[in-house]
Amino acid sequence: MTRMLIIGPPGSGKGTQAERICLELGIVAISTGDIFRANVKGETPLGVEAKKFIDNGDFVPDSVTNRMVRDRLAQDDVAEGFLLDGYPRTTAQVDELDNILATAGVQLNVVVQLTADDEELVKRLLGRARDTGRSDDNESVIRHRLDLYREQTEVVVARYAERGILAKVDGLGDMDDVTARIMDAIKNV
């Protein structure tokens, strides 16, 4: 049973690779970004609260995100494994995830970190903005999100590296090649 996290800067291919990994391993993908966007589109109370942060390129507050993830991980379809995409992003969220998993008597098996050059990420995200019309993908917001990633999320990566469950994978190149690198890295952790 695989319980894992995929992490990396915005635009590194986390969502695309999460889908591919989940198909390969037969586990459930849990993307906080997708859940937030669905709530924003549906104009739910969570969506209205989250939208103001998302539109500024800021992370949604831990209190909102933690509650959502706790509820999602309590659902039956994750019993055979899951892949978290977009959570945890802060050390406080790592602590909360540890508590959630400990309550269930489980822990993460592997954390895959996708890496990519900032300029390539900006180029990818600007292209995605043109293709999808996402309001949170303009150059200043993208660069702000990359700065936030470095300031907050890289500490998360270090914590998982200390536990010996981190696999760094180059996120650039052909999608099939990246997927193959990820699957190899998962086997070697």
In tens, the pLDDT along 153-170 reads 889 999 999 999 999 999
127 is annotated as contributing to ligand binding: no
Catalytic residue of the set 70, 134, 143, 159? 134
pLDDT at site 136:
63
89 is catalytic: yes
Find tokens 């319980």 and name the residue. 3
CATH number at residue 40: 3.40.50.300
Domain membership flag for residue 160: yes
Domain membership flag for residue 188: no
User: Which domain range does residue 134 map to?
Assistant: 2-183
Catalytic residue of the set 128, 143, 159, 168? 128
**Do residues 36 and 54 touch, judged by C-beta distance below 8 A?**
yes
Domain membership flag for residue 168: yes
Q: What residue ranges of the chain have pLDDT lower than 70?
A: 135-136
Find tokens 């999320």 and name the residue. 153
Domain membership flag for residue 189: no
pLDDT at site 135:
67
128 is catalytic: yes
91 is annotated as contributing to ligand binding: no
Catalytic residue of the set 14, 20, 124, 181? 14
Catalytic residue of the set 20, 72, 89, 124? 89
Domain membership flag for residue 115: yes
pLDDT at site 116:
93
164 is annotated as contributing to ligand binding: no
26 is annotated as contributing to ligand binding: no
145 is catalytic: yes
Domain membership flag for residue 6: yes
Domain membership flag for residue 111: yes
88 is annotated as contributing to ligand binding: yes
Number of domains in the chain: 1
Nearest to 146 by CA among 126, 115, 121: 121
Q: Encode pLDDT of 132-154 as tens digits.
A: 877 667 899 899 989 988 888 88
Decide: residue 144, CB within 10 A, 0-12 exposed, 13-18 middle, 19+ buried: middle
